[in-house]
Amino acid sequence: MNGARNANAGIGRAAGQVHRVLTEAWRLQPLYVSLYAILLSFVVGGVLISIIGVNPFTAYWALLRGMVGGGDEIAGSLARSVPFIGSALALAFAFRAGLFNIGAEGQLLAGGITAAYVGALSWMSDLPGIVAIPLILIAGTMGGAIWGGIPGVLRTKTGAHEVISTIMLNSLVLFGVRWMVNSRDPVVLRDTESTVPRTDPISDTAVLPELVDSQPVLHTGLFALVGICFVVAFVLKRTTFGFEVGTVGLNPHASHYAGINVNRVIVASMAASGAFAGLAAASEISGTNGFFQPGTFFLMGFDGIAIALLARTNPVAIIAAALLWGSMLSGAPLMQQEADVSIDVVRIIQAMVLLFVAADAIVRYLFRVREHDQSPFKATSIEGAV
């Protein structure tokens, strides 16, 4: 009797669990499209690999081992992923305010060069790490924030669209830092003792502690960037500022009517976006390189766009998407070594992921996913001219 009742209660609990898991999954439904997009890209990638005469399973097995085959591989994958979190947040945050920040590439450079400059200041070596490390990270964050804030200001003062201005600012900072780091006459930021163009090495006190001596090095910048994701999630979901950002993103007219200072929100969101990229760059300068080289951040900002959209601009999902992105890049060399499949195939797969997320109708059709939310980068309908 008693046993039967217990069993019943147990079944009831289990059913409750299942229901909870299902509702949770339902809530995350928008992410299904992303998951299926990844799956589909690997299938198409597999076809591509077989066309060049390699067994796709062999190639993918090597890729997988390169990604997570052992402790070093996992650490390397993590390390490779960390900066992507920042560059993806740079897109995601602005996106919530209805802005399309495609300037993470430049904001990384601006943050990186600022961090490297501050980190190499002579008095930095006199400071204890507990001061020097935050300082270099803050410097990079500020550098990114300023470079991200400029298009925000331009947008509010002149109406210049942020897509155009961030592209232009990308070029500006790219060639600017390249000159600063290359030039010998005059010497701007170049380390004159180095044969390759790079800045002076940062002070030892400003180096983020290492976690695993992997390739690349896994350092404590991981915690900073993962932590920031949760902070951003909280800000967007629970704070008054997050409410303003979301309101401006969804309906700037109603925001203006309701008394929200729309221009301030736009500038603040762009600056915050740039700050995340700047933080990512500073953490790389401090934890991985120890100096600034323009090539370090090549494509990192643009990958951030893909990652953010894959995560459907959800800050916590960005962590997972960045991990996938970084570890694929980290695992690709082993695939090339063992299966003789070019690293570029991984790049192609990644491009397809983005394509399938963008053209989500394909995925929805193939996997019978109901339309639930709007794809983040389909143009929102233009309001009727009233």
Q: How far is the CB of 121 from other proteins (least distance, A)?
A: 34
Phi-psi map region of 340: left, alpha, beta (phi>0 left; psi -120 to 50 alpha) = left
Told to check if 100 binds other proteins by CB under 8 A, we report no
386 lies in the site for other proteins, by CB under 8 A: yes
Beta bridge partners of 184: 187
Backbone angles phi, psi at 225, to 5 degrees: -75, -40
* Residue 24 binds other proteins, judged by CB under 8 A: no
382 binds other proteins (CB under 8 A): no
Q: In the structure encoding, which two tokens stand for residue 94, read together?
A: 């602005």
Query: Binding to other proteins by residue 264, rule CB under 8 A?
Result: no
Q: Contact 177/285 with Cβ under 8 angstroms?
A: no
If one asks whether residue 314 binds other proteins (CB under 8 A), the answer comes out as no
Chain positions 197 to 256 lying near other proteins, rule: CB under 8 A, are 238-243, 247, 250-251, 253-256
CB of 262 to other proteins, least distance (A): 10
From candidates 1, 2, 259, 379, binder to other proteins by CB under 8 A? 259
For residue 357, give every residue at least 6 positions away whose Cβ sits within 8 Å of its Cβ, in sequence order, or none. 33, 34, 37, 309, 310, 363, 375
Cα distance between residue 21 and residue 281, in whole Å: 37
Least Å distance, CB 260 to other proteins, is 8
Q: Which of 58, 261, 342, 375 binds other proteins (CB under 8 A)?
A: 261
336 binds other proteins (CB under 8 A): no
| ∠ Cα 192 177 224 (to 5°) | 100
Nearer residue to other proteins within complex by CB, 255 or 330: 255
Q: In whole angstroms, how far apart are CA 93 and each of 164, 269, 272, 275, 294?
A: 18, 7, 7, 10, 25
Nearer to other proteins, 269 or 283 (CB): 269
* Segment near other proteins (CB under 8 A); pick from 109-117, 221-229, 258-266, 290-298: 258-266
Biggest alpha carbon–alpha carbon distance for the chain: 92
178 binds other proteins (CB under 8 A): no
Q: Contact with other proteins (CB under 8 A): which of 15, 22, 258, 359?
A: 258
Q: Which is nearer to other proteins, 247 or 289 (by Cβ)?
A: 247
Distances (CA, A) of 104 to 189, 218, 268, 357, 377: 22, 22, 15, 20, 17
Q: How far is the CB of 29 from other proteins (least distance, A)?
A: 16
CB of residue 159 vs other proteins: minimum separation in angstroms? 13
From the list 261, 304, 252, the residue with the least C-alpha distance to 103 is: 304
Interface with other proteins (CB under 8 A): 238-243, 247, 250-251, 253-261, 383-386
